[in-house]
């Protein structure tokens, strides 16, 4: 009969030390964030777009994401979670695991306007997210009814000061970029113009063309076609520099209101605590996508200018943007419960 090999007994203190070491290693591996070992991404990534399907934000996201997919080597699944001006989707991502597999398509609404506009925000735009990169800046244009006398920003300011309370400016609704850009214009120009909110930009534009309201600062994809075909008169663009797709229009700042700038913007965010290596990987993929000439051309055709930056630069941009929009919200008196 074969004899069993003799097993040497491990002393009790050593067994305890080895067990403790094993538990420690297990905990360390369990705590290590997915992707931290350099294999990120190893499965599909989910991008939350906090606005309805088919809208401007959704279209811009779906324009860029296929190119980012190509760089990352994994599918990017776009999920629309609209509600409360983008807050529903933003809160969802704020509560997600910080592993790089749940991203947020954020905007100047979710990360610069809503903190002041909404009374009961259930996430902190600054503390609950890490900015990855801005994607685009979205120009707006000051347009007026074709029969309205002023043809320049300077003339408009002069006319509004001579006719206090008699110039109405339209918006797509309280708290929208078009509303707050108008409030910013009102404050910086020192004029008494009256806000008329609508349920959406299309209704606002219809009344502007009909002469029910005199002026509006609307995003370029909506405003530029009206200005070019004569349904509205384009006065100036809201960006700090002239818009590349319509260089014939001056900026508001250079034509009567120095310092004015009111661009919308979008970008990608991840939950706070996401490893820096993952943030940098995503940033590089976004930059590569936005430098693709075909992607850049497609974005410009929709009124958006590719504007990638570093996480640090994006964070500074958000801080500056938040201060500006907060002043506009407070000046407007707008609040949403």
Report domain extents, the chain.
45-138+264-332, 140-237
Q: Given a cut of 90, is residue 85 above it in pLDDT? A: no
> What's the predicted TM-score (pTM) here?
0.76
Residue 214 CA, chain-centre distance (Å), reads 29
Asked, colleague to colleague, whether 45-138+264-332 and 140-237 share their fold, the answer is yes
**Cα gap 4→300, rounded to integer Å:** 78
The answer to which of 144-153, 222-231, 306-315 has the lowest mean pLDDT is 222-231
User: What CATH class has 140-237?
Assistant: alpha beta
What is the structure's pLDDT at 308?
97
Contact predicate 168/213, CB 8 Å: yes
| Crossing angle for the helix pair 293-300 and 276-290, to the nearest 10 degrees | 80
Strand-pairing partners, residue 167, are 193
Rounded CA Rg of the chain:
26
For 105, residues 6+ apart whose C-beta sits below 8 A from its C-beta are 47, 48, 49, 50, 57, 61, 266, 267, 268
Phi–psi pair at 133, nearest 5 degrees: -165, 145
Residue 41 CA, chain-centre distance (Å), reads 23
**Cα gap 279→173, rounded to integer Å:** 34
What is the structure's pLDDT at 164?
98
16, with CB counted inside 10 A (0-12, 13-18, 19+), is exposed
196 by DSSP, 3-state: which? strand
Phi–psi pair at 125, nearest 5 degrees: -60, -30
Nearest to 237 by CA among 215, 208, 214, 260: 260
Nearest to 272 by CA among 135, 134, 132, 110: 132
User: Residues 50-78: what's their mean pLDDT?
Assistant: 93
Instruction: Give me the percent of the chain exceeding a pLDDT of 90.
Output: 67
Q: Given a cut of 90, is residue 13 above it in pLDDT? A: no
Q: Given a cut of 60, is residue 6 above it in pLDDT? A: no
**Cα gap 53→137, rounded to integer Å:** 20
What is the structure's pLDDT at 177?
86
Contact predicate 80/56, CB 8 Å: no
Instruction: Give me the percent of the chain exceeding a pLDDT of 70.
Output: 89
291 by DSSP, 3-state: which? coil
**Cα gap 278→275, rounded to integer Å:** 5
Phi–psi pair at 152, nearest 5 degrees: -135, 165
Strands 215-219 and 167-171: parallel
E strands, 198-232, where?
215-219
What is the structure's pLDDT at 302?
80
Instruction: Specify the DSSP class assigned to residue 112.
Output: I
Domain 45-138+264-332 has CATH 3.40.50.920: no
Q: Residue 213 to residues 25, 129, 167, 258, 304: CA-CA distances in angstroms? A: 68, 39, 7, 25, 27
User: Residues 37-62: what's their mean pLDDT?
Assistant: 89
């Amino acid at each position: 009969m074969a004899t069993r090999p003799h097993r040497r007994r491990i002393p009790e203190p050593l067994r305890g030390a080895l067990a403790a070491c094993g538990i420690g290693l297990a905990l360390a591996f369990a705590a290590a964030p997915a992707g931290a070992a350099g294999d990120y991404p190893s499965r599909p990534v989910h991008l939350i777009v906090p606005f309805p399907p088919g809208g401007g934000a959704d279209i811009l996201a779906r324009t860029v994401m296929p190119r980012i997919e190509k760089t990352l080597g994994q599918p990017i699944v776009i999920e629309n979670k609209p509600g409360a001006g983008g807050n529903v989707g933003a809160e969802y991502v704020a509560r997600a695991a910080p592993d790089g597999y749940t991203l947020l398509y954020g905007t100047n609404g979710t990360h610069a306007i809503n903190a002041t506009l909404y009374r009961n925000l259930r996430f902190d735009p600054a503390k609950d997210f890490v900015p990855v990169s801005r994607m685009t800046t979205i120009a707006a244009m000051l347009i007026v009814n074709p029969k309205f006398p002023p043809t320049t920003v300077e003339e408009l300011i002069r006319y509004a000061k001579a006719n206090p309370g008699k110039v109405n400016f339209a918006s797509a609704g309280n708290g929208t970029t078009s509303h707050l850009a108008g409030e910013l214009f009102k404050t910086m120009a020192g004029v008494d113009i009256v806000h008329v909110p609508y349920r959406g930009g299309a209704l606002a534009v219809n009344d502007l063309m009909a002469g029910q309201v005199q002026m509006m600062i609307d995003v370029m994809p909506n405003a530029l076609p009206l200005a070019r075909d004569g349904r509205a008169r384009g006065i100036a663009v809201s960006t700090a520099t002239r818009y590349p797709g319509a260089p014939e229009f001056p900026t508001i700042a250079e034509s009567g209101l120095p310092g004015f700038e009111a661009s919308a913007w979008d970008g990608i965010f991840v939950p706070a605590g996401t490893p820096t290596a993952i943030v940098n990987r995503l940033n590089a993929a976004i930059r590569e996508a936005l430098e693709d000439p075909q992607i850049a051309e497609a974005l410009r055709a929709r009124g958006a200018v590719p504007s990638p930056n570093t996480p640090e630069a994006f964070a500074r941009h958000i801080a500056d943007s938040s201060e500006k929009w907060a002043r506009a919200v407070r000046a407007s008196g707008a609040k949403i419960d």
